[in-house]
Amino acid sequence: MATPYESVTRPSNWNVPNLITVVRILLAPVFIWMLLADNGAHDALRWAAAVLFIIAIATDGIDGMIARRPWGSEGALRAAAEEVADTLEPADWIEAIAHHPRIGDREVLRSKVAGWAGGEQGGVDAGDEDLLDALEAANLAYEQRFGFTFLVCATGSDGRQMLAALQERLAGDPATEWRVAAGEQRQITQLRISKLLDDINGG
């Protein structure tokens, strides 16, 4: 009998990771052509090349996780997530971070369908306008300094603690801040694995 992990994660096609890799390889010359083409549609092609590059980055971690399925236990699933994380480049981490909402985002805090991201920011008081204004200003300053969204594993922290962490990290080194953010993403991933398994098991 399949374990809960195997029953919900068994791939429908064992060679999906290989197919993703082959597609990325085949698209490499297309990317180069789009980037270097010199014609009237040059700007449009450069934007298309950027989109293609982002898609390639996004699929890099996905095929790594698919290749490791099915997992026989929770420990194997968590270990696979860490193995994939170890292979990611800075651009991969920044792409992942870009899909997180800002800490203190008013729409996320007040949305009833914000999902896990909304729950993880549950310590922020959506009615504290002074706090939300301070978070908004600090978020903007962080993005201007580092070029990506501030990310912190917010579960169990209140809004003031998140603001303090944001302000502290504003003084960080732009060359290495992505590593700090990546560490936070790893923690979030492990917490979300717990939530996913709770949902699967009816917890």
Catalytic residue numbers read 100
Q: Which one-letter DSSP state was computed for residue 49?
A: H
**CA max distance for the chain:** 60
**SS3 state at 88:** coil
Q: How far is it, in rounded angstroms, from Cα 49 to Cα 69?
A: 31
Cα–Cα distance, 42 to 25 (Å, whole number): 23
| Contact predicate 64/84, CB 8 Å | yes
Q: DSSP 3-state assignment of 155?
A: coil
Q: Report CA dihedral (57, 32, 178, 157) to the nearest 10 degrees.
A: -40
CB 118 within 8 A of CB 107: no
